[in-house]
Amino acid sequence: MSPGNGPEPVVDPAPHPAWLPDGALAAVGRRRVALRLPDLSGPARAIPSAGPDDSVVVGTLRAEAERATTVHGGVVVDPDDSPDLLLHLSPDLSGPAEGMSGARPGSPDGGFRFVRDGGRVAVVAATPTALLHGWFHVVRLGEAAFTGPDADERHAPAFALRVLDHWDNVDVHPVMGQVERGYAGGSIFYADGRVRDDLSRVTTYARLLAATGVDRVCINNVNVHAREARLLTDDLPEVARIAAALRPYGVRTHLAVSFAAPMTLGGLPTSDPLDDDVRAWWRAAADRVWATIPDFGGFVVKADSEGQPGPFAYGRDHADGANLLAEAVAPHGGLVHWRAFVYDHRQDWRDRSTDRARAAHDHFAPLDGRFADNVVVQVKHGPIDFQTREPVSPVLAAMPRTRVAIELQVTQEYTGQQRHACYLAPWWSENLAFRPWGGTGGDGDRVDGGDDARAVRDVVAAGGIAAVSNVGDDRFWTGHPLAQANLYAFGRLAWDPTLDPAALLDEWIGLTFAGSDGAVDPRLREVLHAVLGDSWRTYESYTAPLGVGFMVRPGHHYGPDVDGYEYTPWGTYHFADRDGIGVDRTRATGTGFTGQYPAPWRDVYEDLTTCPDELLLFFHHVPYTHELRSGTTVVQHIYDTHFAGVERVREMVAAWESLAELAPGAVPDDVDARVRERLAEQLRSAVEWRDQINTYFFRKSGIPDARGRTIY
Ligand code: GCV
């Protein structure tokens, strides 16, 4: 790492290895590794079929073992030759792992078994993809996999469906560009208006995902424009190439489709979901897709939302729409991810009764029980739109007879656009741990509820989890190298939503910055925790106070603009005037949104004295002099957090810069240069946020800062 303003670093043209540099595989690569495989060919195959990907994933496993041992001096040996690490593909995970003693039985419900006996490890799984996940489990553990007491553990994903959605366009969109809300360059799938010839980077991406837990990718934007719609028909062979590039790492391909496709692609006069010709068109379309890509995952649909076509045009509802597609994909075992992000984006700002936060619940809760089994209703984690702070969406608790998935946003549209370091796992973790029927609330308060102690992560077990990816063709994948931590943590939480965000950060650091011997400088570890650990709360403190959102520049959503959306049709208002701020969403005097929550939250949020401070302005309109539960007033809180937030960013910058002396050489020059550049922008932007927000509220309220700091 070059301290100060040294010469420009030499940039390696190859993609950055992210969390899988060779050093991350040192512990496995130094050992004697073996694969025990049944015969996968012919009708008498010894393992249950996981789909057509079996042999290709087995090839991947072999290649992984060969590569790691070649780099680090280990060797691939015969399974009977006392390996240190045995990868065992077996239909039966319940018996003792062959060659191991003392194994306890486990239940064969997917995932893999990890057995350590006297320092030797066996991973047993029933499918090649599960075995691959087991391999990466051992990689993550590093030396610890082989040390420690004997163990026999089962590891299975909490969510059956773990999806990354790409908002990538085939054509560069005149406003949104190649990747909508993408902050990391172009698309890894498309360039020059077509699928890339060289898709090797897509396979590298699939490898990174397999090392976390994600196993499905939707490869195009949910805003399906004319060019992208054709992926479903004319371009299927090209989609098949992408699927082939993802498949070696057990990642399945999904497509976002347009509800109007029967008209725009099929020439039919209607897309009415109850029309027989429309149903036949979708069935034929699905047949062609699965004939071309036998392990295809399914369709993702954004309908009747922000201008996308949908069933409303025919007087039908979202269940009619989703079930139309579900019927078409069902014979192939396919899925329909139907998004609940539906609201009126042509609202009149003068009308205070219409509440965008209510929309998804108003549309979807009454449809509970009407969706086909292979429909997953995909719900954004908050009721508005991926803001820095929102309550958990009440839709997640309102559809007990529906497979519901939670949708997160890894791409940092509203959280600094990968120019700001903002580690989002603590925020996601809070959402996943939220107990809609009582228990621990967002700010750590305990709120007692009824008998139902389930958390959001339990509610979505069948529907799973999805997130908008933050990856592009940038050398570091994510623009800001430290934004890789978000993608990593998302994948790990998708596998196990109870994992601790700080521990995940540590895991990511251990892999990403592993030297050739697998070790990480402890001072680097410390600095990265200091920079990233609390960065989401820091970001919140200098941007969005007390649950107010959307004070961003319209359109691109970067930087402060307090009234940017205030007089627009988008339904995202703060209603600040000279006396106070916030949205009254109470049942008593406001939009009634609080009533969409089950008890106890419907009452906790309704009452000014119990509503958590951090969400106060989301639920209530209060005077600037309103005293928060913390004891300070609303306006003083705004000033204090904005001043403190900037100071925290200064500390982040200082922490990073200290590396040059503390741990010279611990970070490659090009990573260091990019992080420094981004941190400088983060500090500039945080100052801008602080000064605009503080000045705005000082001018509105006329109330000076109690500590007399500079406000303009
Ligand atoms: C893909 C927000 C974003 C849009 C995005 C939309 C969605 O409104 O700003 O770019 O569209 O969410 O989730 O569909």
Report pLDDT digits (tens) over 105-153.
333 347 999 999 999 999 999 999 999 999 999 999 999 999 989 999 9
- Atom of ligand 1 minimally distant from the CA of 180: 10
Choosing from 228, 413, 584, 614, the catalytic residue is: 413
Q: How far apart are CA 339 and CA 305, in angstroms?
A: 9
Nearest Cα residue to 324 out of 267, 268, 393, 370: 370
Q: Spell out the residues 6+ positions from residue 558 whose beta carbon is closer than 8 angstroms to its own.
A: 417, 419, 552, 685
Whole-number pLDDT of residue 287? 98
> Torsions phi, psi of 377, nearest 5?
-85, 115
Sign of CA dihedral 624, 626, 631, 634: negative
- Atom of ligand 1 minimally distant from the CA of 176: 10
9: number of Cβ within 10 Å: 15
- 570 CB under 6 A from ligand 1? no
- Atom of ligand 1 minimally distant from the CA of 407: 13
Q: Spell out the residues 6+ positions from residue 76 whose beta carbon is closer than 8 angstroms to its own.
A: 32, 33, 34, 35, 62, 65, 66, 69
Choosing from 81, 153, 306, 627, the catalytic residue is: 306
Clarify whether 317 is annotated catalytic: no
Query: Residue with the nearest Cα to atom 13 of ligand 1?
Result: 341
Segments in the chain below pLDDT 50:
1-5, 44-50, 99-109, 441-443
Whole-number pLDDT of residue 13? 75
Using DSSP, state whether 36 is helix, strand or coil.
strand
Query: Residue with the nearest Cα to atom 3 of ligand 1?
Result: 181
- Ligand 1 geometric centre to CA of 535 (Å): 24
Q: Give pairs for 228-234: CB < 8 Å, separation 24+.
A: 228/169, 228/170, 228/171, 228/256, 229/257, 229/258, 229/261, 229/264, 229/265, 230/265, 231/170, 231/255, 232/257, 232/261, 232/265, 232/285, 232/289, 233/265, 233/285, 233/288
Give the residue, out of 306, 378, 384, 406, with the most ligand 1 atoms within 8 A of its beta carbon, to mutate for a pocket test.
Answer: 306
- 223 CB under 6 A from ligand 1? yes
> Torsions phi, psi of 334, nearest 5?
-85, 165
Sign of CA dihedral 323, 325, 329, 333: negative
22: number of Cβ within 10 Å: 16
Under 8 Å between Cβ of 189 and 164: no
- 167 CB under 6 A from ligand 1? yes
Task: Return the half-sphere exposure (C-beta side, CA atoms, 13 A cut-off) of residue 474.
Answer: 22
- 222 CB under 6 A from ligand 1? yes
User: Any idea what the Cα angle at residue 73 is, between residues 67 and 74, rounded to 5°?
Assistant: 75
Tell me the CA distances in angstroms from 335 to 102, 375, 464, one per residue in order.
41, 6, 12
Clarify whether 66 is annotated catalytic: no
Write the DSSP assignment of 639-665 as a string of letters.
HHHHHHHHHHHHHHHHHHHHHHHHSTT
Give the residue, out of 167, 409, 417, 556, with the most ligand 1 atoms within 8 A of its beta carbon, to mutate for a pocket test.
Answer: 167
Whole-number pLDDT of residue 98? 54
- Ligand 1 geometric centre to CA of 692 (Å): 26
Whole-number pLDDT of residue 529? 98
- 473 CB under 6 A from ligand 1? no
Residue written as token pair 């990174």: 208
Whole-number pLDDT of residue 92? 77
- 168 CB under 6 A from ligand 1? no
- 181 CB under 6 A from ligand 1? yes
- 341 CB under 6 A from ligand 1? yes
Query: Residue with the nearest Cα to atom 8 of ligand 1?
Result: 385
Whole-number pLDDT of residue 114? 97
For residue 160, give the amino acid letter: A
Nearest Cα residue to 620 out of 572, 588, 578, 596: 588
- Ligand 1 geometric centre to CA of 46 (Å): 46
Q: How far apart are CA 198 and CA 194, in angstroms?
A: 11
Whole-number pLDDT of residue 104? 37
Query: Residue with the nearest Cα to atom 11 of ligand 1?
Result: 223
- Ligand 1 geometric centre to CA of 131 (Å): 36
Q: Are strands 112-117 and 120-125 parallel, antiparallel or unpaired?
A: antiparallel
Q: How far apart are CA 340 and CA 379, in angstroms?
A: 5
> Torsions phi, psi of 207, nearest 5?
-65, -45
Query: Residue with the nearest Cα to atom 12 of ligand 1?
Result: 385
Two tokens, residue 615: 């969400």
Whole-number pLDDT of residue 492? 98
- Ligand 1 geometric centre to CA of 550 (Å): 13
- Ligand 1 geometric centre to CA of 167 (Å): 9
Clarify whether 306 is annotated catalytic: yes
- Ligand 1 geometric centre to CA of 468 (Å): 10
